[in-house]
Structure 1
Amino acid sequence: MDKRAVNRRNFLELALAGAPVVASSPLATPLRTQAAMPKNIRLSCNLYSFNEPLTSGKMTLEQVLVFCSELGFDAVDPTGYYFPNYPALPDDSFVYQIKRKAFRLGLDISGTGVRNDFTVPDPGRRKAEIELVRKWVGFAARFGAPVLRIFSGTAKELKPGHQRDEVINWVVDAIGECADYAGRQGVMLVLQNHADFIQTAEDVLTILQRVKSDWLAVNLDIGSFKIGDPYAQIARVAPHAVTWQLKENLFVEGREVETDLTKIVQIVLQSGYKGYLPIETLGKGDPRVKVPVFYEKVKKALMGAG
């Protein structure tokens, strides 16, 4: 019998028996275990990374989805303002078209978000902001987004005649009402720290503790703690995060510096987090160049920790 046929038959017999097959060549080396991603951690792309081409019309939402799928992302997070007619809701036909496109590309929808402001003094305007969030909670449910990102508000400085405790009450009451509604729709409401009314970990935790809803958690934006040690604040909030925004840079003692992704990954894993880690690139430059570079850096950091 031909020697090659014997070798092939032996290979098949070993494979069918479930035995490990090792090449017989003298040049063969033992198989190495490749680094792997940590269990239950997946990468998503926050589509603000593509803000310029999306808002200028250089890329469509569908084209961005194709790009993210081909790069290797597991999911995408498109904010509401990338849909037609925002802040009005888009037609369901368009929503389902994008949902179908993502599904056919193998992408999950890890989240979506709105712009809102619960720090405005006028009660009528705050009521309108609550209605905006409720409306987009319904959108998230139809779109298949498990979380809807919201903000506390834009007020870094208080209006004359108002105290911070008073404004916190406005924010807590508004978020509490929205969280109750989100729970009835099966959507998590996630509060994003955004260096606005919320500036520190203590600010985030105060609102969470006062609202006390199982349907409210945190979207942890690592680039928006600009007071104190950002890594310490990130670690403090991390146990309450159900989604993230990993950014290329963060602020240390008021200076923008490159993110230590090894530290961030350690915080993520030590917090016991499971789920999507959306990345977001900012600043000048073509996202079709910037996003792949940052994606590989994050992936490398995760695989090094896995």
Structure 2
Amino acid sequence: MNEEQVSRGPIGEAVLIAGPTASGKSALALELALATGGIVINADSMQVYRDLRIITARPTQGEEARAPHRLYGHVDAAVNFSAGTWVADAAKALGEAKAEARLPIFIGGTGLYFKALTAGLSVVPPIPAEEREAVRARLELNGAEALHAELARRDPRAAERLNPRDRTRIARALEVVEATGRSLLDWHREGQPPLLPKDSFRAVFLAPVRDELYARIDARFDAMLGAGALSEVEHLAARHLDPLLPAMKAHGVPALIRHLRGELSLEQAAMIGRADTRHYAKRQFTWFRHQLPEFEWVKPEEARAWLAAIVSTARDPD
């Protein structure tokens, strides 16, 4: 693929770099930021947590020092951080980039964040803490399938779309209908406009060959363990946070916590962490293919040609 093939017109207001975990997104984003004087803005739902630098493969402090980085490690693990909150934070980062005449470079693997950025997001009112805690208490006491049956009585349309064992989504749908009296599906139809409308950005999805990607995922997980991921998870576990919080479900975290409790050997925990990450990568391919068709799919080895076209357009928009 040459520059003519990857270049599809003006660069627009922003560049979006997505892809499965371990596909080389961060390196490409940093290279683009250095070449254009841009700001790297995180669009990964786990890299927002300050407690999880190593296990989520966040950019290193040295990498962050080379170019401005935003929305990395700015949220405590005790916070149930939502896509709506991320959009609000992203709007501020986007405004900052525009004010400084810098190219905003959104990079990550969370499809919902990119969907919210480019297509808008439903606005669900904040759920009172007591409502959320009551639902989670029933979940722990009665189990996911019992709560799914309860949801089927309260909100049959939402229940029909959910797996009866999907603890997180069932709890979310039930807390919304209990707190607001309306289905989560109704709230999804009433959204806010996108921060980046159609044709205002360039977007790429790095799509490695599956077998090569899975080998990279396995190697990276082992490298994270070597870099101190287990100690990081040990500090997180010592906080005794709600296991349903997003940070507590980051890939590798639940299995490593089980290892720390003596339930699994380290190798067993690592096998689970690697497998969970590979499964997540597979889901990322599916999400972006069906939900975000505006992304250009590029093999990692062709990313430099794509990057060169972007840089050329940024320097000479005419």
> TM over 0.5, yes or no?
no
**Shorter-normalised TM range:** under 0.3
Q: TM-score, normalised by structure 1?
A: 0.28
Which structure has the bigger radius of gyration? Answer: 1
Q: Relative contact order (C-alpha < 8 Å, sep 6+): which is higher?
A: 2
Q: TM-score, normalised by structure 2?
A: 0.27
